[in-house]
Structure 1
Amino acid sequence: MILGHDKQIGDFMAAWRSGSMHHAWLLGGPRGVGKATFARAAAARLLAEAAGQVPPESHLAIDRELPTARFIEGQAHPDFRYVERGPNKTGSALARNITVDQIRELSSLFDSTPALSDWRVAIVDSVDDLEPGAANALLKMLEEPPAKCLFLLVSHVPGRLLPTIRSRCRTLAFQALDDDVMASIADFHDVPPALVRGAGGSPGKLLASASLDLEPLRSEALKLMRQGDPSNACRAKLSQSLSARNSGDRYAAFLAMVPALIASEARELDGDARLRALDAYGEARTLSQVAPRLSLDPATTAFRMGSILASVAPSHERV
C-alpha cells in the first residue's frame, strides 16, 4: 500500500507508458516517507508487466501472489537486485557503507541475458551510503547503461550526492505526508493516533514508534513542554529509561521524534511561547543529529533533551 504519493506514481507510470523510460531515477526526500517502498513497487510493476503477468494499467501496485511479486519478496528474482548495507565484519551491526564490491556485483545482472522478460531492475537503498569507490563504480554504470535496465536510487539527502550521479538521473521528489494520510496509515496498522503527531509525516517513524512503545516517551515529552520540570524528576526518569541496557533503539527513536514533536507543538502556540518552542526546535534538531554521530553518552543526552523540552514551558514551570 502506497499512500500520499499519487503524483510520484503518476509521473513514473506516465514515463513507463510513453515507451521512453529513463534508465535511472533518483528517489529523493526525507527518511521514512516511503521511497524504498515505492521503489520495490515500481520494480515489481515494471518486471511483472514486462513478463506479461499483468495488463497495462495506470496504478502501481500488483497482486502480491503474482510470481514476480513473490520472487522479489523472496530475493529470488533473476532480473532484480536490491543493494543495501550488509553486516559489518563481526556481524554485530550493519556496515557503515555500501562497498564497491557490492556495486560491482551488479555486473552479473547487467552482463547476463534477462531471464523472465527483457528488463532488469536494480535498487540501491540508499545511494547516500555508498563509499567513494562504490559511487564511482555506480557512476560508470549510469554513464554506459545496458539496454532496458532501470536503476532506482533511494536518497535521503540528494543534495550531497556526486553532481555527476544526479545529472544522469531523473529526480522524483518525495515529501513528508500530511496528517490525513498519516492518520489513514495509523488506522491501517492499528497504531495509536496520538503517535501521528510526533512522526513528522514519516510512516517509517510512525511504525517504529509503535514497535518501540514510544507513546510513554511522547507523553513525557509533552508533559515537559507544557508543565516543565522544576524538580528534575521527569528528566531523571528519561535519562534512566533511555540509558538502560538494550534501550538503544528507543533512545535513537526518541532523539529522532523530539524535533518533530516540538515543531508540532509550536504550531499550536503564539507570541513568546511560540518563540521559545522554535528556539527549542533548533536545539533539539542539532542535538538529535550530533549525539549519534559523536556517540554522546545516552544518559546525559536524554537529560539534555529533557531540558530543551522543558524550556518550552512557561517560565514559572522551568528550572
Structure 2
Amino acid sequence: MTLPVGNDAAHAAFAAAMSGDTLHHAWLFAGPEGIGKATFARAAAMRLLADAAAPGTLPPGFDVPEHHQTRRLIGAGSHPDYRELKRLPKESDKTGQELARSIPIAQVRALLPMFAMKPSLSPRRVVLIDAIDDVERPGASNALLKSLEEPPAGTIFILISHAPGRLLPTIRSRCRLLRFDPLGESDMARIVREHLGKADDAEVAALVRAGAGSPGRALGFAGLDLAALDAVLAAIAQDGDRSNARRVKLAKALALKAAQPRYEAFLDRAPAFIAESARDRHGERLRVALDSYDTARALSASARGLSLDAQGTVYEMAGLVATLAK
C-alpha cells in the first residue's frame, strides 16, 4: 500500500514504535481532515498484522506484498483480526451514499464477541476507528473507553481524529498521540496534478489555496471551476462592486439547482478568502476583515443548518467580501 505524501516524521515515529520491544495499545492519529491519516492508518494496520503473522519475513517499512495473506484478507474484508469502525450508510438511503451522523453504541458493542476470543491468525489484532470524532456520546464513547482502559490481549487500537480537543479527556489520556500536519504547497500541487492531469495552472493554484494543506479537501472541490469563483471574489474585494453587478450575477448563477455543488464550495471558499485577505492587513483594515470573517463563517453555518435561500445568501456573503475594498 502506497503511503500518503507528506508527514514523513509521523510515519517514521510509528515505524520506530513498531520495531521496538513494546508497542502502545492505543494510538491517536490527530490532524486536519483529508491529509492522509486514514490512508496511513490502514497501511500501518496491515503491516502490524502481517508482521505478527510471520515475524521477520518482511523488509523494513510499511509495504506488504500483493500476494501476502494479510493483504488479501483485509482487501476482501474477511480478516478475522481486523475491524474498522466508521459511519455506515443510512438504512433509509437506498443509494448507500448518505452516511449516518455518528458511529452508534451498537457498532462498538459488536466488537465484544471478538474481544472475548484470542486473535485467530497471530497474537495480534487491530481495531481502526475512522473517525473517533464520530463515535456517539456518551454511550458509544463510554463503551469504547472500557476497552481502552482494559485492552484485550494483543489488541492495538488506532483512532483517527480531526479535532482531538473535542474528545473525552479520558479517551485522549489512554492514547499515544501522533500528530499529522497540513501539507506544504509543493506537495499539495503535486497531489492535485496527479489526480487531475488536465487541470490548468490557475485551477491547480485555486485548489491548493482552498485545500489549506489538505489534499482531500482540495480534491473535493475539483471540477467546480474554483479558479473562476476566486477571480470573482478577488474582483469584488478589489473595487467593492459599488454597482452590485458582480454580486447579483454571482448570486443568480449559484442559486440554480444545477449549481448546488458550486454553491456548497462557495460557502466554504468565501470565508476562507476573507481570512486569507486578513493576513496582509493592519489596524482598522485588519479589524474590518476579521469582523467580516466572523460574520461570513456564521452565515455559512446558518446557510447549511437552516437551508437559507441560496441567492440571498450568496449576495450577502459577497457583500462581506466587498468590505475588503480599500
TM range (shorter): 0.7 to 0.9
Shift in Å, 1:100: 0.2
Deviates more, 1:149-158 or 1:303-312: 303-312
User: What is the correspondence of 1:76-225 to structure 2 with a 5 Å cutoff?
Assistant: 76-91=78-93, 93-132=98-137, 133-190=139-196, 192-194=203-205, 195-225=207-237
Deviates more, 1:206-215 or 1:143-152: 206-215
Shift in Å, 1:229: 2.3
Distance (whole Å) between structure 2 residues aligned to residue 215 and residue 64 of structure 1? 40
* Partner amino acid, structure 1, of 2:246: C
**Distance change in 2, residues 1:66/1:254 (3 Å):** farther
Alignment: residue pair count: 313
Partner of 2:265: 253
> Does 2:309 align with 1:306?
no
TM-score by length of 1: 0.86
**Distance change in 2, residues 1:257/1:115 (3 Å):** farther
SS at match of 2:222: helix
Distance (whole Å) between structure 2 residues aligned to residue 70 and residue 214 of structure 1? 39
Distance (whole Å) between structure 2 residues aligned to residue 70 and residue 238 of structure 1? 50
Shift in Å, 1:67: 4.2
Q: Which runs of 5+ in 1 are unaligned?
A: 315-319
Distance (whole Å) between structure 2 residues aligned to residue 70 and residue 221 of structure 1? 49
Partner of 1:17: 19
**Distance change in 2, residues 1:168/1:234 (3 Å):** same
* Partner amino acid, structure 1, of 2:105: V
1:243 paired residue among 255, 271, 293: 255
Shift in Å, 1:294: 4.1
Shift in Å, 1:173: 1.7
What's the CA shift string for 1:44-94, capped at 9, x where partnerless? 22122223396141x335456644344434433322122111223422632
Distance (whole Å) between structure 2 residues aligned to residue 56 and residue 50 of structure 1? 14
Distance (whole Å) between structure 1 residues aligned to residue 221 and residue 258 of structure 2? 16
TM-score by length of 2: 0.84
Distance (whole Å) between structure 2 residues aligned to residue 127 and residue 293 of structure 1? 23
User: Is contact 1:86-1:95 (8 Å) kept?
Assistant: yes
Q: State the identity %.
A: 46
User: Is contact 2:47-2:62 (8 Å) kept?
Assistant: yes
Shift in Å, 1:31: 1.9
Partner of 1:317: none
Shift in Å, 1:103: 0.8
Aligned CA-pair RMSD: 2.7
**Distance change in 2, residues 1:19/1:276 (3 Å):** same
> Does 2:50 align with 1:48?
yes
